[in-house]
């Protein structure tokens, strides 16, 4: 029996579409793709412009808060997080007229109270600490009216922080206390010296002693006087050293230091992302419309047959 080799040809189906046919479909309906893509781009461009126009911009200022009580009692700790929790501070910031007007515009009259004022300011003012250096603080405010009023907000906020700093007042108070104590100690030392002079004049036994022996004689014969003299001299040295230390704090007394000027920060919007997504969706929908039209055209032809 002979065997015949047969070349089996693949069956062809009417519904099969190869790559060339796909390209032909896209070419036939190119205007549908173009129009759909353009419409999506226009819509996404409008959305991107809207988002961009409503993206807030900011002003920022960085400061350095170096807090140290230097062993002094009564020195305040500056807490940047509690400024807006105090009603008087909220009122002071809202004394800036353009900001106050914007608050009155945004908040309905029946909702205008201290709570809404605080919420309004908390929404536009952000205080953040540097994770690497906790002493460095940034005060950021949203530009809701104009740059000048926003600058006033930052400056007012920093002024309130400075008012919390009472180190200079405490230092001056301590200086006065130590100076007064030093003067009293001087008077006491002078009184003791006068008593010693009287002893030199009236005690005949001192006349026969050498100069270096005289103080030892007074110390042994008048121990209470010698003790008073030692104590007052110790107090005197302590007060002098403390005044010198307090004087050295003058260079470090500025607790809040400005590390940058106020600078502008443009808000990050998603306009580019929206436009990119719009273009991709436009192309996708355009291709889908092309195939849909091809399907409808094919269906109509078969229906007519």
Task: Tell me the percentage of the chain whose pLDDT exceeds 90.
Answer: 30
CA distances for 77 relative to 52, 67, 160, 256, angstroms: 41, 7, 13, 12
pLDDT tens-place string over residues 225-267: 888 888 999 999 999 999 998 888 876 677 888 888 888 887 6
Query: CB of 134 within 8 A of CB of 81?
Result: no
pTM over 0.95: no
Interhelix angle 271-304/19-28, rounded to 10 degrees, is 100
pLDDT tens-place string over residues 34-47: 888 888 888 887 77
For the CA atoms of 151, 153, 158, 160, what is the dihedral angle to 10 degrees? 150
What is the CATH number assigned to the segment(s) 58-166+255-265? 3.30.70
Encoded tokens for 173: 């108070």
Task: Write down the pLDDT at residue 7.
Answer: 46
Domain ranges of the chain: 20-53+270-296, 58-166+255-265, 169-252
Task: Write down the pLDDT at residue 181.
Answer: 93
Mean pLDDT for the chain overall: 82
């Amino acid at each position: 029996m002979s065997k015949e080799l047969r070349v089996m040809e693949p069956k062809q189906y009417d519904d099969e579409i190869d790559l060339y046919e796909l390209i032909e479909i896209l070419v036939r309906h190119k205007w549908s793709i173009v129009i759909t893509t353009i419409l999506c781009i226009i819509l996404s461009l409008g959305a991107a412009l809207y988002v961009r126009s409503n993206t807030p911009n900011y002003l920022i200022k960085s400061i350095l808060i170096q807090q140290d009580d230097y062993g002094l009692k009564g020195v305040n700790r500056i807490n940047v997080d509690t400024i807006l929790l105090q009603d008087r501070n909220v009122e002071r910031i809202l004394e800036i007229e353009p900001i106050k007007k914007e608050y009155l515009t945004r908040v309905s009259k029946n909702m205008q109270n201290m709570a809404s004022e605080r919420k309004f300011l908390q929404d536009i003012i952000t205080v953040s600490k540097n994770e690497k250096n906790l002493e460095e603080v940034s005060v950021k405010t949203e530009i809701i009216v104009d740059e000048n009023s926003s600058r006033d907000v930052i400056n007012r906020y920093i002024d309130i922080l400075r008012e919390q700093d009472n180190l200079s007042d405490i230092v001056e108070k301590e200086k006065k206390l130590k100076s007064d104590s030093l003067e009293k100690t001087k008077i006491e030392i002078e009184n003791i010296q006068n008593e010693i002079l009287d002893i030199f004049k009236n005690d005949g036994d001192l006349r026969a002693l050498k100069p270096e022996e005289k103080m030892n004689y007074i110390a042994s014969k008048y121990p209470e006087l010698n003790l008073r003299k030692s104590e007052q001299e110790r107090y005197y040295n302590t007060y002098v050293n403390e005044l010198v230390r307090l004087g050295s704090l003058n260079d470090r007394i500025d607790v809040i230091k400005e590390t940058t000027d106020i600078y502008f920060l443009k808000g990050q919007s998603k306009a580019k992302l929206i436009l990119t997504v719009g273009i991709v969706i436009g192309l996708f929908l355009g291709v889908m419309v092309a195939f849909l039209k091809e399907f409808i055209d094919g269906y109509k032809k078969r229906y007519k047959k």
